[in-house]
Structure 1
Amino acid sequence: MKKFTLLFLLSGSAVFAQRTLTIEETVMGGRKYAPTTQTAQQWRKDSKAITYLSADFSTLFEKSAATSWKETTLATKAEFEIALKAKFSNDEFTLRTFPTAINWKSANTFETEVTGKKNSYKVIYDVAAKQIVSTVSYAIEAAHATIASNNNVAWLKGNNIQITDASGKVIEVTNDANAAIVNGSDYVHRQEFGIDRGMWWNEAGTQLAYYRKDETMVGNYPIINWNEREAVNKDIKYPMAGMKSEEVSLVIYDVVSGNKVTIQTGEPKEQYLTMVSWEPTGKHIFIGILNREQNHLKFNKYDAKTGAFVKTLFEEKASTWVEPQHALTFVPNNPNQFIYQTDFYGFNQMYLYNTDGKLLKNLGYKDVVVKELLGFDAKNTKINYLGTANNGLDKQLYQVDIKSGKTVQLTTASGMHMASVSSDGTMILDQYSNVTTPNEISVIDVKSKKATTLVKADNPFTGKVDMPKMELVTITSADGKTPLNGRIIYPANFDANKKYPVMLYVYGGSHAQLVNNRWMGGGGYFDYYMAQQGYVVFTLDSRGSDSRGKKFCDVTHRNLGVNEMADQMKGIDFLKSKAFVDADKIGVFGWSFGGFMTTSLMTSHSDVFKVGVAGGPVIDWKYYEVMYGERYMDTPQENPEGYAKASLLDKAKDLKGRLLVIHGAQDPVVVQQQSMNFIEACIKAGKQVDYFLYPNHEHNVGGKDRIHMYAKIADYFNVHLKK
């Protein structure tokens, strides 16, 4: 296959070599060398103007077509604080910045949330009058506050739900004393299936739907906190593949009557309730019912008053898995039509249905994967969304006409775009980068296509750091059919006549993409740091990774690691074809699924990989949780052969190179039992392996400790591979 190549030189001539990145900058560099931008930018409603924050987050700026896009001050933190104190004289506020999350309600007013010393507030601020014009207050200890259209506020106190109504009265919705009964939390089904909330107000704000999760039947799993004088055990609920899982129901609470209705989602109780969506009329609620096997979805309609089942609107069945990810989006001013997103037909795209379940229009376009639905135009006849292009390397802005299904691509420059359309539909605010463009922000006239550049960032490394050359490549997958996206970062002061060691940085799992056509090619600062230390740093998005459609992922079903490894080895073959690669010095580093891949490669291809660093690795999928694990592997009872093939416990005997395993001691995602069992297997097999724990970290090592971690990884490669 013809290779797609983009060359990218981040700095000037190596003859005048500047300094390299420091190990501290592998963590802090993203902030230090961020390209010039406009922070928190958005369209001001009902105007041809955009707003954004100053670099120190103290001022809200505006650029408007009326002023030829000149920067003007719209509001300041000091002005906002004065307005807060005038409105809430009995409370105190210490704002570090101007509010970073604002939602324009009109041309002059925006909505935001602030916290004082006594209460939390939702406020609407008028930038012209410099006044707070509307307020809602609720308890300062409120967690996951969800505010209704009539200003009722639902919030969590521990595992129970409280409501502060518009008059300030606090209503106790649930009072379960057993901590294993969890109400209203977004941590249901371990946040798979696009779940990002646990409570939903109807449009009128009179009824609250919420998850009720019963974990009493799930065993306790110990997580040790080592910070106390005597170590303390903190039990979590961690249902492992093939074992008893949580039981979830959906309850509707009526604020006026105090009545509760449990939606009749039926048996078995071990099923997944997804895509919860209120009908705009409030008469019905929709739920995606996914079986535990995750291969059969029923999208059901229920009576919100009685909880009774009304009808199944449609079903999806697959031999692999069905993975609902999105709640419904109703067409404004038309409560009988909604947009449904699914990848069931190959790529995550949009489909127009009516509330009786009739498919009205396929709104998909080519092989574009919808990444973010941005909303409707002013007339509610078109939908704007961000979607993929260029085999997943790019992201562009598209607009589809709901009636005709015709799609137009509104942005054109190759790269990763973040874009939005003005409320009147006449202008686009477009921000993008690619491998040669650090950051460019423009306003584009939809009709004339004329673009006005607002920001064109310079290379932030120029004169500061001598960054290595980077190249994007295309490699054919192990099936001989599929183009895969790869990235090479060349060693500093690269000499094609020399031979260099290799660090393969790998992930390979679902819902992740490491290579794309953005600034730095999607590579991290540690990747570039290692290249500066003299390594060829290579990354390949194998089959199973994100942004390429369902078939691209389906090949992993019941055999995690098999096709992913085969693709990674195609990447290694590609590297070995290069005269500058030292084939005897190839190492691999990855975290989480990448830790699983690292350990798999170190044991299955032990003659190729001499050094590996596996962070938070899955070692045996039977120790991983139900929701993710069973989607790809089914249960251990159903797929014993697949689990045995993927398990690394009996492959410890095949380890030849030097392997460092790193784990967070409080990891609730990939529990430490995974790596501990592998260490034990290595001991029994007589294999030496290195092990390092970060005692106060969960699945990811953050903060300053991350600098320590990267220093350790770099040192491990330098000692055992580079020498």
Structure 2
Amino acid sequence: MRKLLLLFLFTGMAATAQQNLTLKQATSGQYQEFAPKSLVSPLWRKDTKAITYLSDNYASLMQRSEAGNWEETTLVTKTELATALKSKFPDETFVMQIFPYNYQWKDKSTLQLEVSGKNKMYLVLFDADKKEVKSAVAISADAKNQVLSPDGTTVAWLNDNNIMLSGKVEKTVTNDTDKGIVNGSDYTHRQEFGINKGMWWSPDSGNLLYYRKDETMVANYPLVQWDARIAETKNIKYPMAGMKSEEVTLVAYDIASGNKITLKTEGPAEQFLTCVTWSPDSKFVFVGVLNREQNHLKMNKYDAATGNFVKTLFEEKATTYVEPLHDLTFVPGHNDQFLYRTEKNGFEQLYLYNTDGKQLKSLGYLDVVVQDLLGFDANAKNAFYIGTADNGLERQLYRVELSSGKTIPLTTANGTHNAIVSTDGTLVLDSYNSTTTPNKVAITDLKSKKLTEILNAENPYKGKTVLPKMELVTVTSADGKTPLNGRLIYPANFDAGKKYPVMVYVYGGPHAQLVTNEWLGGASLFDYYMAQQGYVVFTLDNRGSDARGRDFEHVVHRNLGVNEMADQMKGVDFLKSKSFVDAERIGVYGWSFGGFMATSLMLDHSDVFKVGVAGGPVCDWKYYEVMYGERYMDTPQENPEGYAGNSLIGKAAKLKGRLLMIHGAQDPVVVQQNSMEFIQACIAAGKQVDYFLYPTHEHNVRGKDRVHLNQKIAEYFDTYLKK
């Protein structure tokens, strides 16, 4: 009787619990309520066979070790860390709601952490075994871009546009009062070319290298601030395509003497300085010097003490563009050898060079595109990396022998592998997911092949909601030969005898991939929400998108949108071949480059697309910035036909369907002028268009307001496409 009652209660609860997603769940649930269980911030302890990660409640740092048979134990709690800090700083109040998730292992026992006090931030070195604070450097709570020196004694940080040093050395490195002079910022060259930092300590901690960006000559661009009684203007520096750009130099600051040496990166003032790397002996700096045209890269070597140019190691040229994205990686124990990543031979792969500029070995493997270089084994005989497989759909772990170039795939299960390798190269922690697997985590011994399962996540939607069917599909591109990856999500309660409206979700531009063999197929929960509302939801990664190699992407050069649209229309042909697709009710939605694509499709193929939503769209590439825009389009002066051909403003008169354009009024990436000029062109052409502005948001709508955004998009499709 009890079993029957429990069965009744269980089935009854399941029947009532499995509802469609709410808009709030569709917006944030993918990363919260419905996130598959995983390890948070996993890292191998250096020079050990132990893995660490945060506990489920984020209150402790957990450990599993080979010596402990991989059983979970608590290594350090946030309380123990707070107690140790309090003993060193008795007058400070530490704000520690969770154990610091961005910890690093400096050595096998020392953790590097950032901890917030009441009015200061502390960069801490903590002995995890002894539960003691080894050292801590206090900096301003408002500090930005803080970087701890390799010896752990001094922190370089930004106070607005100037560099400060705190700790063993207390100095003001720069003191520029003109806000147009920006020192040490990672927002140099608008963070293109893989730039994610603006300051580099030398390995011996004796020098600090930093970007000095002069943007005084760049035009001011006004962003209207609406919260004042009388609206005010906030000016940003925005170098538009074909106009004056910033001028950047690299400066080496000697910590002991205070002397500053500017590297003699001779050439035009508006070139780009990339791939910035110290030599292991701290004597030289390597810099990738890229011309503004972005078709000629020189990998140069400079003397850090004098700033003098030493030599050009090698050069890269292209008829389209060269795009350096990664610093050099020196081979441990070999100060004269480094790995360089480039797509010069068709796919971004690894090459072994010496510091004389000689290529020692090509380490590429088939058509694999390197996604993440993980490191080396104990003797630096092999390197490990995550790379693509199955036409970019998958991510697999590979090992390559540096001397021979022999490459071995270390993972084989179809899907997406996110692996980290122990410092001796003998153990792998592999987090794996696919369209059918939420998440599996296991430790593999590469010598014995023994696998120890750590976690096997359950389907987080089970008993809560039923997600519509999703399948990965292949469409042949407009060139008649290239296979394209697509994703088709069927409507809820699918009936093959019915006809359904379609929402095409599109991005289509470089450095983005929407379709992958991972959980949910790479889709957002909003896509599944729309399918639950009765739509076919379709996405296609056209030529020009990421993870398929140089030639696949470079078809966009000087003609953004042309080949991308041609491929998207092949996707439409695929949709029309399905008996359940209502060819008279096809809509399109995209943001940023996707907003440009959505509007382009609404204009160039107005007989096909009846409804469109375009967020933050580039409407004329002459209004976009130098670094990204000129890479793909050249300048308006060099390519007037290309700029005219893909201008949405010039095509406004072709609009037939219902178009909703959305923009953030504070957008510093795709400035609002784009959509305003398009709206004005629609007015002049007598075309009706819907427009919505988010007054306080930048390039995307984030936080709680994103629910509002998704509601607006869903209601727009329901109003004009679903009926």
TM-score over 0.5 (shorter chain): yes
Residue aligning to 2:144: 143
Structure 2's unaligned 5+ residue stretches are: 1-13
| Equivalent pair of 2:275/2:327 in contact (CA under 8 Å) | yes
**SS at the partner of 1:600?**
helix
**SS at the partner of 1:67?**
coil
Cα distance in 2 between the residues matched to 1:82 and 1:16: 47
Q: Deviations over 1:510-538 (max 9, x none)?
A: 00000000000000011000000000000
- TM-superposed CA distance for 1:644, in Å, is 0.4
- 1:539 pairs with 2:539: yes
Residue aligning to 1:130: 131
Q: What letter matches 1:60 in structure 2?
A: L
Residue aligning to 2:155: 153
Residue aligning to 1:554: 554
Q: What is the root-mean-square deviation of aligned Cα atoms in Å?
A: 1.4
Q: Deviations over 1:105-128 (max 9, x none)?
A: 344332212121243222222233
Q: What letter matches 1:706 in structure 2?
A: R
Cα distance in 2 between the residues matched to 1:256 and 1:165: 14
- 1:479 pairs with 2:483: no
Change in CA separation of 1:203 and 1:105 when aligned onto 2, cut-off 3 Å: closer
Q: What letter matches 2:97 in structure 1?
A: R
User: Under a length normalisation based on structure 1, what TM-score does the superposition of the two structures give?
Assistant: 0.96
Change in CA separation of 1:341 and 1:668 when aligned onto 2, cut-off 3 Å: same
Q: What letter matches 2:410 in structure 1?
A: L
Residue aligning to 1:8: none
**SS at the partner of 1:285?**
strand
Residue aligning to 1:93: 94
> How many correspondences in the alignment?
708
Deviates more, 1:671-680 or 1:131-140: 131-140
Cα distance in 2 between the residues matched to 1:105 and 1:648: 52
Q: Deviations over 1:45-79 (max 9, x none)?
A: 33322221122201222222333322222221111
Residue aligning to 1:507: 507
Q: What letter matches 2:34 in structure 1?
A: Y
- TM-superposed CA distance for 1:212, in Å, is 0.9
Cα distance in 1 between the residues matched to 2:527 and 2:97: 33
- 1:25 pairs with 2:25: yes
Residue aligning to 2:374: 374
Deviates more, 1:59-68 or 1:29-38: 59-68
Change in CA separation of 1:162 and 1:100 when aligned onto 2, cut-off 3 Å: same
Cα distance in 1 between the residues matched to 2:23 and 2:253: 53
Q: Deviations over 1:443-486 (max 9, x none)?
A: 11212322121111111111110110000001110001111000
Cα distance in 1 between the residues matched to 2:606 and 2:429: 50
Q: Deviations over 1:267-318 (max 9, x none)?
A: 2111111111111122211111111110111111111111111111111110
**SS at the partner of 1:336?**
strand
| Equivalent pair of 1:103/1:111 in contact (CA under 8 Å) | yes
Residue aligning to 2:120: 119
Q: How does 1:423-502 map to 2 (within 5 A)?
A: 423-502=423-502
Residue aligning to 1:264: 264
- TM-superposed CA distance for 1:141, in Å, is 3.2
Cα distance in 2 between the residues matched to 1:420 and 1:653: 53
| Equivalent pair of 2:137/2:166 in contact (CA under 8 Å) | no
Residue aligning to 1:5: none
- TM-superposed CA distance for 1:37, in Å, is 1.5
Q: Deviations over 1:322-364 (max 9, x none)?
A: 0000111111121111111111211111111111101111111
Residue aligning to 2:237: 237
Deviates more, 1:55-64 or 1:385-394: 55-64
Q: Deviations over 1:403-429 (max 9, x none)?
A: 111111111111111111222322211
Residue aligning to 2:11: none
Q: How does 1:115-514 map to 2 (within 5 A)?
A: 115-150=116-151, 151-166=153-168, 169-514=169-514
**SS at the partner of 1:437?**
coil
Cα distance in 2 between the residues matched to 1:645 and 1:604: 11
Percent identity, please.
64
| Equivalent pair of 1:34/1:460 in contact (CA under 8 Å) | yes
- TM-superposed CA distance for 1:637, in Å, is 0.5
**SS at the partner of 1:24?**
helix
Change in CA separation of 1:236 and 1:95 when aligned onto 2, cut-off 3 Å: same
Q: What letter matches 1:666 in structure 2?
A: Q
Change in CA separation of 1:654 and 1:17 when aligned onto 2, cut-off 3 Å: farther
Residue aligning to 2:675: 675
Greater than 6 Å deviation, 4+ residue runs: 14-17
| Equivalent pair of 2:591/2:617 in contact (CA under 8 Å) | yes
Residue aligning to 1:9: none
- TM-superposed CA distance for 1:374, in Å, is 0.8
Cα distance in 1 between the residues matched to 2:114 and 2:601: 48
Q: What letter matches 2:144 in structure 1?
A: A
Cα distance in 2 between the residues matched to 1:48 and 1:300: 39
Q: Deviations over 1:360-390 (max 9, x none)?
A: 1111111111111111111121111111111
- TM-superposed CA distance for 1:165, in Å, is 4.7
Name which structure has the greater RCO, CA cutoff 8 Å, separation 6+.
1
Residue aligning to 2:6: none
Cα distance in 2 between the residues matched to 1:107 and 1:629: 45
Cα distance in 2 between the residues matched to 1:306 and 1:177: 27
- TM-superposed CA distance for 1:398, in Å, is 0.8
Residue aligning to 1:639: 639
Cα distance in 1 between the residues matched to 2:602 and 2:274: 38
Residue aligning to 2:10: none
Cα distance in 1 between the residues matched to 2:470 and 2:286: 48
| Equivalent pair of 2:95/2:115 in contact (CA under 8 Å) | no
Q: What letter matches 1:92 in structure 2?
A: T
**SS at the partner of 1:66?**
coil
**SS at the partner of 1:339?**
strand
| Equivalent pair of 1:17/1:466 in contact (CA under 8 Å) | no
| Equivalent pair of 1:649/1:677 in contact (CA under 8 Å) | yes
Change in CA separation of 1:105 and 1:263 when aligned onto 2, cut-off 3 Å: closer
Cα distance in 1 between the residues matched to 2:654 and 2:457: 50
Change in CA separation of 1:609 and 1:24 when aligned onto 2, cut-off 3 Å: same
Q: Deviations over 1:244-288 (max 9, x none)?
A: 111111111111222111111112111111111111122211111
Structure 1's unaligned 5+ residue stretches are: 1-13
Cα distance in 2 between the residues matched to 1:198 and 1:433: 34
**SS at the partner of 2:335?**
coil
- 1:67 pairs with 2:40: no
Cα distance in 2 between the residues matched to 1:547 and 1:405: 22
| Equivalent pair of 1:83/1:132 in contact (CA under 8 Å) | yes
**SS at the partner of 1:574?**
helix
Q: What letter matches 1:74 in structure 2?
A: L
| Equivalent pair of 2:376/2:384 in contact (CA under 8 Å) | yes
Q: Deviations over 1:177-213 (max 9, x none)?
A: 1111111111111110011111111111111111111
Cα distance in 2 between the residues matched to 1:269 and 1:351: 30
Cα distance in 1 between the residues matched to 2:401 and 2:520: 35
- TM-superposed CA distance for 1:15, in Å, is 10
Residue aligning to 1:7: none
Cα distance in 1 between the residues matched to 2:148 and 2:68: 36
Cα distance in 2 between the residues matched to 1:211 and 1:635: 25
Q: What letter matches 1:354 in structure 2?
A: N
Residue aligning to 2:59: 58
Q: What letter matches 2:166 in structure 1?
A: T
**SS at the partner of 1:221?**
strand
Cα distance in 2 between the residues matched to 1:287 and 1:175: 25
**SS at the partner of 1:52?**
strand
Q: What letter matches 2:524 in structure 1?
A: G
